[in-house]
Amino acid sequence: MATPDELSRPLCSAALLVLLCLLESAVGRSGGFTADLIHRDSPSSPFHDPSATHSDRMRSAAWRSISRARRVWARDSLNIQSEMTYSGGEYYMKVSIGSPPFETLAIADTGSDLSWTQCEPCIECYRQNPPIFDPRNSSTYETVQCLTRLCQSLDGVRCGGDDGGVCKYNYTYGDGSFTSGDMAVETFRMGTPPGGTITVPRIAFGCGYNNGGIFADAGSGIIGLGGGPFSLISQMEGSIGGQFGYCLVPVFSKGTSKISFGKDAAVSGPGAVSIPLVSESPDTYYYVNLEGFSVGKARFSYGDNSVGSEAKESEKVANMMIDSGTTLTFMPSQFFHNLESAVAEAIPLPRVPDPHGMLDLCYRSPGGEIDAPVVTLHFAGGADMALNTVNTFAQFAQDLVCFTITPTDSVPILGNLAQMEFKVGFDLRKRMVSFMATDCTAQ
């Protein structure tokens, strides 16, 4: 049996230039494309458990959300570039790799950069139900050589020998999960009707021969959608104009969320608002400045603990991460008390403790229904995002509904529940993210 090193093929030093030209040709003809974004608990997901109740799935999603947030915060405090963050896999994307095309299901993660998949021959691989990608069967697979600019500009790689040999990557995630193998380039195929699929040659990715940890068995690896130089977005930047976005249908609904690239991701029209992206370290994540929030007519500014509609405007802001892989929203604890109090005052139901100890504001409500006030988030640039009940409350037991915004003393996170029923578009050239309330099921 061949070893990973025996699969090596030279990669020319002009690989990046060739890559950009090929991407321009492949994507430029259509200007954009769209693919399905499959929530792990939706009926169309291979992870779907029909015996689980809505409440069961919601509790599991909340636990995954809290675990992911803790890993994000740990990485932020350690500031170790090789310590990546694993998403927990809330959304998945079908891609085909190689020639002939080999279909796989990978985590679509805005909190990761490097895309990777498990590869044969495995030295150590986690259990995966679908077949594992075998690069020996692909005519377009090429390993990256150590002395190329591509390898030398990637963090978490190692090389050996006089000529450097094959570029090896090694990533460890915050929860102890890991992946290592060869850096390579390969043809990727993505997209769904009505726009059809698009073929993108020479995408740099990790072909993992050693992988383990908390990964689900229905998928293989990660599609990195972060802002770093080796994410899928950055590699396709020249052809998609630095634009991508998504529209998330309500959790556990029968509809399918969509992810778009290029002109298809543009957000415009009545009600669309744009927020400047702010730089943070590491630059994998997408951050915006949160200035405050409103509940009804009462506005609260970050760093201002006064209560009432005449609350003084504060110049302080909080850098908030936008993350599709985190379910809950985490609000700065400095003013979460005001948010909790204002929401509770508007809901004429008796409060009850969360029996699972995850959330702060819960109500006993037969049927899981609740009439919640609109919570409006105020971002830099005068952009407001009005969150309705579907964005702020969820059913966690048969007659228990809880507020899905929770406090944190670390980096605030705008989770995917808060983003549902919004068209979200990132424009990395303009350094902006845009939101527009819409019916994502009808998109």
Strand, helix or coil for residue 26: helix
Catalytic residue among 41, 182, 264, 323: 323
- H/E stretch holding 79: none
Evaluate whether 388 touches 328 at the Cβ level (below 8 Å): no
What residue type is assigned to position 219 of the chain? G
Q: Please state, in angstroms and as integers, the Cα–Cα distance from residue 169 to each residue in 14, 225, 343, 372, following that order.
A: 20, 18, 48, 48
User: Residues 295, 301, 302, 304: is their CA dihedral positive or negative?
Assistant: negative
Question: Sign of torsion, CA 132 135 139 140?
Answer: positive
Q: Find, among 236, 391, 380, the residue nearest to 320 by Cα.
A: 380
Stretch among 215-219, 342-346, 412-416 having the lowest mean pLDDT: 215-219
Distance CA 245, CA 422 (A): 10
Q: Is 68 exposed, middle or buried (0-12, 13-18, 19+ CB in 10 A)?
A: buried
Among candidate residues 41, 109, 182, 427, the one labeled active-site is 109
- Distance from the Cα of residue 69 to its chain's centroid: 12
Neighbours of 354 (CB within 10 A): 17
Q: Residue 277's pLDDT is what?
A: 94
**Same CATH fold assignment for domains 4-262 and 266-442:** yes
Question: Does 439 participate in catalysis according to the annotation?
Answer: no
Q: Quick one: pLDDT at residue 309?
A: 40
What DSSP assignment string belongs to 236-284? Answer: THHHHTTEEEEEPPPTT-SS-EEEEEEGGG---STT-EEEEEE--SSTT
- Can you tell me the mean pLDDT for 73-86? 39
Using a pLDDT cut of 90, give the percent of the chain over it: 48
| Max mean pLDDT range (155-164, 213-222, 273-282, 326-335) | 326-335
Tell me if residue 323 is catalytic: yes
CA dihedral over 277, 283, 286, 287, signed as positive or negative: negative
Highest mean pLDDT among 187-201, 330-344, 418-432: 418-432
Please state whether the peptide bond connecting residue 10 to the residue before it is cis, i.e. omega within 30 degrees of 0.
no
- For the segment 91-131, what is each residue's pLDDT rounded down to a tens digit? 889 999 999 999 999 989 888 888 999 999 999 999 998 89
Residue 420 burial (10 A CB sphere; 0-12, 13-18, 19+): buried
| Fold adopted by 266-442 | Cathepsin D, subunit A; domain 1 (2.40.70)
Q: 4-262, which class in CATH?
A: mainly beta
User: What's residue 15's pLDDT?
Assistant: 39
Segment 274-299, tens digit of pLDDT: 999 997 655 788 999 999 999 988 89
Angle (nearest 5°) at CA 190 between 249 and 13: 135
- How far apart, in whole angstroms, are the C-alpha atoms of residue 90 and residue 68? 10
> What residues does each domain of the chain span?
4-262, 266-442
Report the percent of the chain where pLDDT is more than 70.
Answer: 77
State how far the Cα of 227 lies from the Cα of 210, in Å rounded to an integer. Answer: 25
Half-sphere exposure of 379 (CA within 13 A, CB side): 23
CA distance 139 to 78: 41
State residue 9's pLDDT score: 38
Map residue 64 onto helix, strand or coil: helix
Q: 43: cis peptide before it, omega within 30°?
A: no
Residues in contact with 310: Cβ distance below 8 Å, sequence separation at least 6, in sequence order: none
DSSP 8-state code for residue 417: H
- Digit-coded pLDDT (tens) for 295-322: 988 899 886 654 444 444 444 788 999 9
Q: How far apart are CA 338 and CA 300, in angstroms?
A: 8
Pick the residue with more confidence: 282 or 226?
226
The string of pLDDT tens digits covering residues 148-182 is 888 887 777 888 655 568 999 998 876 678 999 99
